[in-house]
Amino acid sequence: MIPRYSRRLLAIVAVIVAVAGFLGGAYAFHLFGGGQNCWVRPSEPAGTAVFTIVMANEGFNVGYNGSKYHAAPWPVMNVTVGQSVFIHVINNDTQAHGFQIVHYYDQGIGGTSGLAPGQCFNVSFTASQLGSFQVRCDIFCTIHAYMLSGMLNVNR
């Protein structure tokens, strides 16, 4: 006969294993693609300037396209005035991140909560004004300082 406290202990262990399995499955679902495949970007018409911006988790948070390891400004996107621009933004990190281009995409992605881990978003516009425009994270995150110095240069 199994003592009563042993049955309780067994029940507690079973609950812990079930919860750990659920959390492990949810994490694997995130890692191995539980929804959209962000690494496949939509095709755009010829003449469109196409960029991919990745918020990466490589053991250390590295910002937009490795901005932590590049001199500012980074990343830099150069386009011609009047050109269509398509930016595919991927959050491959474990925390939410924002994305904003001053003047061209001021509303940011996902409002105040940013782009969730494992999600992607497409930004399209026509570069209608000459100049240099800051690309930055518009929400607070742990690597925010490395995500404030991107640049969109609209040239003749």
pLDDT in tens, the chain (156 residues): 556 668 888 878 777 887 777 666 655 555 554 567 898 877 888 899 999 999 987 766 788 999 988 999 999 999 999 999 999 999 998 889 999 999 999 888 877 789 999 999 999 999 999 999 999 999 988 788 889 999 999 999
30: exposed, middle or buried (Cβ count in 10 Å: 0-12, 13-18, 19+): middle
Sign of dihedral through CA atoms 31, 59, 21, 120? negative
In a domain? residue 131: yes
Q: Within this chain, do residues 11 and 58 fall inside the same structural domain, yes or no? A: no
- CATH number of domain containing 85: 2.60.40.420
**How much is the pTM?**
0.74
Structural domain contains residue 44 = no
**Beta bridge pairs of residue 125:** 85
Residues 87 and 118 in one domain: yes
Element (DSSP H or E) covering residue 90: strand 84-92
pLDDT at 33: 47
DSSP 8-state assignment for residue 143: T
Domain count, the chain: 2
Asked if residue 120 belongs to a domain, the reply is: yes
Asked whether 110 and 98 are in contact (CB, 8 A), the reply is yes
Beta bridge mates, 101: 105, 135
130 lies in some domain: yes
In DSSP terms, 55 is beta-bridged to 64, 91
Domain hosting 88: range is 49-155
The residues, ordered by sequence, that sit 6+ positions from 101 with a Cβ below 8 Å of its Cβ are 87, 123, 133, 134, 135, 152
Q: What is the pLDDT of residue 29?
A: 53
Residue 39 falls inside a structural domain: no
Are residues 28 and 53 located together in one domain of the fold? no
Beta carbons of 77 and 151 less than 8 angstroms apart: yes
